[in-house]
Amino acid sequence: MQNHYDVQVCLDVKTPMRDGVQLSADIYLPKSTGPFPTVLLRTPYSNNLEDLITKSRRLANQGYACVVQDVRGRWDSDGTYYPFHQEGADGFDTQQWIGRQPWSDGKIGMTGGSYLGCVQWLSAPHRNEHLTCICPQVMCNDYYRGLFYPGGAFQLNVLMTWGMRTSAHTAQSISQHHWTEAFRTLPVSEMIEQNGGNMPFWQDWMEHRTDDEYWEAINGEKQYEQIGVPALIMGGWYDLYATDTFDNFVGMRERGGTPQSRQSKLIVGPWPHRLSRCTCVGDIDFGAHSMIDLEGWEIRWFDHWLKGIDNGITAEPPLRLFIMGSGQWRDEDEWPLARTDWQSWYLHSQGHANTLRGDGRLSRQAPDEESPDQFVYDPQHPVQTVGGNNCCSPEIVPWGPYDQRGVEMRTDVLCYTSEPFDDDFEVTGHIQLTLFAASDGPDTDWTAKLVDVSPSGYAMNLCDGILRARFRESLSRPQLIEPGAVLEYTIHLGVVGNVFRRGHSLRVEISSSNFPRFDRNLNTGGDLVTETRMRVAHQTIHHNRQFPSQLKLPVVPRR
């Protein structure tokens, strides 16, 4: 079989949608008689980008037709752009069109990351007869919880920067914005207009601040049973969709609609949203071993499912993880790991856990009678985001691991730190914090962060989360809190795969803001879309026999 083909290119080929709108695609074909299996990429970022052209030519070189399409309302495609909601039907119609072309053998695979991943997840439940496999990267399926409102808080940085870049027909430069001030604009409903943007869908995002029918219409986590094709999923520990990649993997393995879809796989490395582009992420160089050839995995996936080549990929373990701290890749068979030892680590102090110099401790011993910790949260002076699971403008808000000691010197950040470990200690899985807390206002936020502290004191963030108090019981039916009442809050910090090396300590930070990753809670209990008034909140964290605040850790025993 020939392994290398010359390429012919057809530019701006119009693809008709069911409503008559014409979408534009560039098509790369092997110079041969065909027909060929097809790889489809659908993008809002222009199908004329150099990396997409290079990728398309490489696929055509290897015997695939490659179709790269501008989504509706972007670049050379007609229609009006509206994120997410239109992509399921448009994806189906595009697949149907490809299947009828003389150069197509009727089998289609899809690939791409971020928005190029969402168009795969959104079209797959439509079950087009030609769609055979997908390779979605760094994307969620529950858009309310995964992208827009994690824990009920608006994910401000990504939605404002990404939204303003993609709101017009072509790309918009945002480099000249004074972002430090732009993120502080109030009310939030006027944030785009006051900063020179034009995003018609911003008001829809503001109107639907609860998990309602607007989000239900595009919630793919409820449709795994409708997906009949296998997915090769890719993600990074420092991607904003880290948790979602595992949710998608588990959903497909357990609930996929066919035996083929239940053969889905997942690869996760120590990467941010751009995946395996560099050994360095944030402050940390994870070493040459941390980078792998993801396109090579993708080609093996397509070769098997689209060309029928028995290359052994389906016989390999379904999960491949890079475990930070160890610097090693490891294959696993399930998620969460079956051998996980779920341990409770309790918060302790004598009432002075403020800053990393305080007396906050973490241990496996349950608390007795201890004084609570207190801090003041002033939305005028929120805790600054320093790295983490951010997207998509690292030049504005950096992503990845950074030293958190500057943050931890603030008096409105509580730090609870374990004793140094006597031996390597692996934590791999979902991280959850149960917090018993009170605020003197009708609403506030609770934030938490997991940190690996080296013997030198360097404090490397691993994952973090937030919970808006009014959403403590339901993301669909918010309820304000009774001022002063001690309530139980469950904060999901995300996922991690990390070995705390001998001599390192584990720390959890607790505060009430992580800005501008998330919007500020103004503590008034008012409408956060239109509110401009702020109040200072006085916060209390309890950790005693009656209120045992604790961190749930997925500890992996040493083999």
Neighbour-count burial for 242-269, b at 16+ CB within 10 Å, e otherwise: bbbbbbbbbbbbebbbeebbbbbbbbbb
With tokens 């920067």, the residue in question is 161
Report the alpha-carbon distance of residue 108 to residue 37 in Å, rounded: 6
DSSP assignment of 204-254 equals: HHHH--SS-HHHHTT-GGG-GGG--S-BEEEEETTSTTHHHHHHHHHHHHH
Question: Which of 412, 444, 446 is closest to 432 using CA atoms?
Answer: 446
Q: Return the amino acid letter for 541.
A: I
Report the alpha-carbon distance of residue 524 to residue 513 in Å, rounded: 15
Helix, strand, coil in percent for the chain, rounding step 5: 25, 30, 45
Of the candidates 130, 273, 304, 504, the residue annotated as catalytic is: 273
Q: Any catalytic annotation for residue 114?
A: yes
Report the alpha-carbon distance of residue 329 to residue 424 in Å, rounded: 16
295: its two tokens: 């396109």
Report the alpha-carbon distance of residue 312 to residue 310 in Å, rounded: 6
Report the alpha-carbon distance of residue 547 to residue 542 in Å, rounded: 6
Q: Are 497 and 323 in contact (CB under 8 A)?
A: yes
Q: Any catalytic annotation for residue 178?
A: no
Q: Any catalytic annotation for residue 177?
A: no
Report the alpha-carbon distance of residue 283 to residue 338 in Å, rounded: 32
Q: Return the amino acid letter for 203.
A: Q
Of the candidates 56, 114, 189, 418, the residue annotated as catalytic is: 114
Of the candidates 239, 303, 373, 519, the residue annotated as catalytic is: 239
Direct distance between the N- and C-terminal alpha carbons of the chain, in angstroms, rounded to an integer: 44
Catalytic residues: 114, 239, 273
